[in-house]
Amino acid sequence: MSSFYADISPQVYEITWQAGHVETVIAHQVAHSSQSIQVSALANGEFATKSEGQQRITFHAEVDGRWTLQLSAVEADIRTIRNVTNGEQLPGGTR
């Protein structure tokens, strides 16, 4: 089994929950469901759209050659998400 992400390092994300708890997640991809819309083709060339009800944020990573869901959370439960892979970034882009 070949690995698509073999040469790509995962990113480290710090999640602060609304309750104040802070946790770290390692992932290759972060997806935001509020931007996803289901589109269906109907008769006569019409289209129907439906956005998802509860907005979610998902974190995925390739682990041992398998695409794995690391975390799926309701967007409203998260206060902040920070990419802390390379440490704390200072204003102006220098450390």
Residue (of 75, 46, 63) closest to 4 by Cα position = 63
**Residue 6 is assigned to a structural domain of this protein:** no
In whole angstroms, what is the distance from residue 16 CA to residue 42 CA? 42
Residue 95 confidence (pLDDT): 55
Name the phi and psi angles at 79, rounded to 5.
Answer: -85, -50
**Residue 53 is assigned to a structural domain of this protein:** yes
**Residue 56 is assigned to a structural domain of this protein:** yes
Tally the domains of the chain. Answer: 1
**Residue 93 is assigned to a structural domain of this protein:** no
Average pLDDT over residues 74-88: 89
**Residue 25 is assigned to a structural domain of this protein:** yes
**Residue 46 is assigned to a structural domain of this protein:** yes
**Residue 26 is assigned to a structural domain of this protein:** yes
- pLDDT exceeds 80 at position 57: yes
The pLDDT tens digits of the residues spanning 18-34 come to 999 999 999 999 988 75
**Residue 4 is assigned to a structural domain of this protein:** no
Q: Tally Cβ neighbours within 10 Å of residue 31.
A: 13
Q: SS3 for 87?
A: coil
- What is the domain range of residue 57? 11-83
